[in-house]
Amino acid sequence: MHQMVMILVVTCCLAVDEMWRYIRKFGLEYCDLPTMLWNVSVLLKVLTVNIYGKNRKAIPLIFYIIVTVGLLTYFYVYQVCMVWFVCVRTKETGDMVAAMVVISLGVSSLIGIVKLLYMYLYIDKFRALTDSFLEFDARIAPGSRVSRNVLRYMRNVKTRALIYWGILMGNGSLYIFSPLARPGRHLNEDLLIIYGSRAVAVLLLCATSFKDIVRRHATIKTLLNQIEDVCRGLFAVGFSLLILGVISELLGGLENTLLQLPYAFMQVGIDCFIGQRVMDAGDVFEKAVYSCRWENFDKRNMKLILIMLQASQRTPSISAGGMTTMNFVLLMGTIRGTYSAYTALRSSMA
């Protein structure tokens, strides 16, 4: 009996140790690209999304059942009931503030769902994109200066990703558990009546590996164009939903929509941040090309530098549906335009 207890204790300790090593891979100690993509794949597998084109592992059936039930429940509660509440219930009560609160809740939460459905629809492109990044990363020699610089930048990327994920999860958890902090029995949003009762990697210029840097830069430009091709429609939809969501949140009153406002802004704001960093990276590359002391090169390499400089002056960017560039200027302009629309609608509602 004593031996069985000891075996059980040792087994539990080994299981806990293995689980801890598994969890630590989500921390900043592991910042290489394959591990970071593995982190993302683990989280997305819960949503039945497999981002790997090669070496894919089967997703348990229970996840498909949970996601299907969750999506059906979400669309019924936050979309179908929202439409019914605004089109039918509001006509009976005349409470436009409640209608704006319900619209803001449905529209703001739809941003993440649209992204998930977009990944379902274009999963093959996302898998090809993942494999392309992994193949590109595999060509970097481990332990080289480029590898160390990439790891340093990837650590910054993972830090931002953890902060972004933490804010979204914290905001969502606060919204979910907020009824527990209020006296009495409450739903997450009492005003909503349910009908029937959610990359750039920067390369360093090195004179000793000039041709390799050009090849890598061309690969990154190709990957960026692929990202633009895959996600341009998604960014446009996200911005449209953000505008509708923020206007309805303001019309609904910040005292009623305080949690929805940062939730919507954070999801689209990170897209603008990425677009701005892409443009900044392009400016940094242009300055690096010009500052490489090209005047000391021979004519052949000077011509090559000239071609690179001309190409680098076309600033890379990520667009929203090909109509406008995703950056901080667009985000600030959207905020100003949204507030102007809010003031106009507010006066008409009054």
Q: How far apart are the first and last CA of the chain?
A: 78
Q: Cα–Cα distance between 198 and 137 in angstroms, integer?
A: 30
Domain ranges of the chain: 30-349
Q: Tens digit of pLDDT per residue, the chain (350 long)?
A: 555 555 555 555 555 566 667 677 777 777 788 888 888 888 888 888 888 877 677 788 888 888 888 888 888 888 888 888 888 778 877 778 778 888 887 887 888 888 888 888 888 888 888 888 888 888 878 878 878 888 888 888 888 888 888 888 887 787 777 777 776 656 666 667 676 653 333 333 344 556 676 677 777 777 777 777 777 777 777 777 777 777 776 777 766 666 666 777 777 777 778 778 878 877 777 787 777 777 777 788 788 778 777 777 777 777 766 666 777 777 777 777 777 766 766 666 65
* The pLDDT of residue 315: 72
159 forms beta bridges with none
Q: Cα–Cα distance between 187 and 258 in angstroms, integer?
A: 16
Q: Cα–Cα distance between 325 and 272 in angstroms, integer?
A: 9
* The pLDDT of residue 199: 33
Q: Cα–Cα distance between 30 and 154 in angstroms, integer?
A: 10
- DSSP readout, 292-346? S-GGGS-HHHHHHHHHHHHHHTS----EETTTEE-SHHHHHHHHHHHHHHHHHHH
This prediction has a pTM of 0.59
Give me the helix-helix angle, 260-290 and 299-312, nearest 10°.
Answer: 160
Q: Cα–Cα distance between 90 and 288 in angstroms, integer?
A: 59
